[in-house]
Amino acid sequence: MWRAIASNALTLFIVLLVVAAGILAWGRQAYVQPGPLADAICFRVERGASLSQVSRALEEQGAVSDARIFRIGADYSDKAGSLKFGSYLIAPGASMAEVVAALTAGGQSTCGREVNYRIGVATAEVLLRELDPATNRYVEVVKFAPATDPVPAAYVDAAAAPDLRWRITVAEGVTSWQVVDALKRADFMAGEVAELPPEGSLSPDSYEVEKGADRAALIAEMTARQTAILDELWTARAEGLPYTTKEEALIMASIVEKETGVPEERGRVASVFINRLERGMRLQTDPTVIYGITKGEGVLGRGLRQSELRRETPWNTYVIDGLPPTPIANPGKLSIAAALNPETTNDLYFVADGSGGHAFAETLEAHNENVAKWRAIEAQRGQDGVTGVQGE
C-alpha cells in the first residue's frame, strides 16, 4: 500500500515538474517572441512609477500581451528596479524583452517632445518638435526667434514637462559673439559666460543639454570638441602648406567656411587661397572685409561698399598681405579638413555661378568671363554684387 502511495506521489511530482517546465518554457517564449503591437507608440514612464504600474499600462496600450509575464521577465533579467523616467519609442512587434531593454536603458528619452535651440548665422530660433511614432520623424509644433518674437504658450507649456529633451545646435560659420549672445537668450540655461571665447575655437555641432545647464560649461565642451578636431586633422595634414601653425589653419578654415556652403567645394576653395598665398597674391575675399566691419557681432545685412573694400582693417584681405590675424568665424570639421588637405589645382579665382556654387578659373581672363556670366544672372534677378575672389 505505502509502495503504491509513494509511486503515485512520485508520478504526480514528475507530472508537476513537467507542467512547470512547460509553463516556464512557454513564459520564456512569450517573453522573447514578437509582441502584439501593430503600430509604434510613444510610451511614457512616469517619475517614480512601479514595475506593476508600467506593466499594466503597457498591456492596456497593447504593447505587451501579458503584464504578469512582463514583470516576471523583468525580475528574472534583474531589470525590475532599473526603470528610467521619460518617454520611449516602442516599435511595432517589439518583444517584452525589447520593451524592458528600452525602458531601462540609460540616456535620454527616445521619443516625445524636444526643444532644439538652433544658433544660425542670420538668427537664433527655438524649435519645439515632437516625434511621430508612426513615421519615426519629428514634427514641428512651434518655432520662434527669442530675440524678436513673443514666447508662444505652447512652448511655455512644453517647457514645464519634466521629460522634455533639450538640444542646442550651432551652425557652421557662426561667430563666437553670436554663440554667446544666443546662449544668453536661452531661458532654459543658467550661469554667465565671463569672457568671449576666441574666434574659431568653438565646434559647430549639436549638443544635448539638461534644463538649467551651465552656459560656461557648454562653451567649455564646444571648445574641447574643436580642439580635438583640430588636433586630429592637424596630425594628418598635407605637406607643404603655406602655414605652419594650427591657428593659421583655423584662420584658413574659417575663410573657406564663409566662402562656400557647398560641401564638395570646400577643398577646391581652399586650394584657391593656398595657391594665392604661395604666389604672394592677396586673398581678396569679402567675408574678411565684413568681419573687419562687424567684428563678428551680427551680420552686415547689406552689400559691401567700394570704400569698405579699400578701408584698411587687420582683416581686410584686399589691402593686407597673407592671412588675417584671427579666424572670422567658427569653422566646421569639413572646412578644417579642407584647409589641411586641400585639392590640388591651379585655380586662382572663383565667383558665384548662380547654382549655389562657384565657377573656378586659373587665369584672370577666364575669371572675368565667369564674372560677366554672373553679372548677367544678377541682372535677371535684380541683384547687384560679386562674391568670391576678385581679379586684380
**pLDDT tens figures, 197-242:** 999 999 999 999 999 999 999 999 999 999 999 999 999 999 999 9
Q: For 42-56, 134-148, 263-277, which range has the lowest pLDDT when averaged over its residues?
A: 42-56
The pLDDT tens digits of the residues spanning 262-282 come to: 999 999 999 999 999 999 999
Cell of 207: 549638443
The pLDDT tens digits of the residues spanning 66-79 come to: 888 888 877 777 77
Q: Is the pLDDT of residue 246 over 80?
A: yes
Q: For 46-55, 105-114, 374-383, which range has the lowest pLDDT when averaged over its residues?
A: 105-114
Please measure the distance between the N-terminal and C-terminal CA atoms of the chain and give it in whole angstroms: 118
- Pairwise pLDDT comparison (190 vs 32), residue with the higher score: 190
Cβ proximity of 335 and 266 under 8 Å = yes
Rounded CA-CA distance 154/158 in Å is 6
Mean pLDDT calculated for residue range 338-350: 95
Cell of 252: 584658413
Rounded CA-CA distance 249/226 in Å is 13
| Residues of the chain above pLDDT 90, percent | 55
Residue corresponding to grid cell 547689406: 302
Residue corresponding to grid cell 512547470: 20
Task: Give the residue among 382, 361, 379 at the shortest CA–CA distance from 370.
Answer: 361
Domain ranges for the chain, please list them. Answer: 27-104, 113-230, 239-389
Mean pLDDT calculated for residue range 314-319: 96
Q: Is the pLDDT of residue 80 over 90?
A: no
Q: Is the pLDDT of residue 360 over 80?
A: yes
Q: For 150-164, 207-221, 320-334, which range has the lowest pLDDT when averaged over its residues?
A: 150-164
pLDDT of residue 65: 83
Q: What is the architecture, at CATH level 2, of domain 27-104?
A: 2-Layer Sandwich (3.30)
| pLDDT band, very low/low/confident/very high, at 30 (cuts 50, 70, 90) | low
| Residues of the chain above pLDDT 70, percent | 88
Q: Is the pLDDT of residue 297 over 90?
A: yes
- Pairwise pLDDT comparison (175 vs 54), residue with the higher score: 175
Strands 358-361 and 189-190: unpaired
Rounded CA-CA distance 326/245 in Å is 12
| pLDDT band, very low/low/confident/very high, at 126 (cuts 50, 70, 90) | very high
Cell of 19: 507542467
pLDDT of residue 88: 80
pLDDT of residue 384: 52
pLDDT of residue 151: 93
Mean pLDDT score of the chain? 86
Alpha helices (H) along 33-120: 51-60, 67-76, 96-104
| pLDDT band, very low/low/confident/very high, at 304 (cuts 50, 70, 90) | confident
| pLDDT band, very low/low/confident/very high, at 361 (cuts 50, 70, 90) | very high
| pLDDT band, very low/low/confident/very high, at 378 (cuts 50, 70, 90) | confident
Look up residue 47 and give its DSSP letter: T
| pLDDT band, very low/low/confident/very high, at 104 (cuts 50, 70, 90) | confident
Alpha helices (H) along 160-280: 176-184, 215-235, 246-259, 266-278
pLDDT of residue 1: 53
Whole-structure pTM over 0.85, yes or no?
no
Crossing angle of helices 215-235 and 176-184, rounded to 10°: 150
- Pairwise pLDDT comparison (192 vs 47), residue with the higher score: 192
pLDDT of residue 277: 96
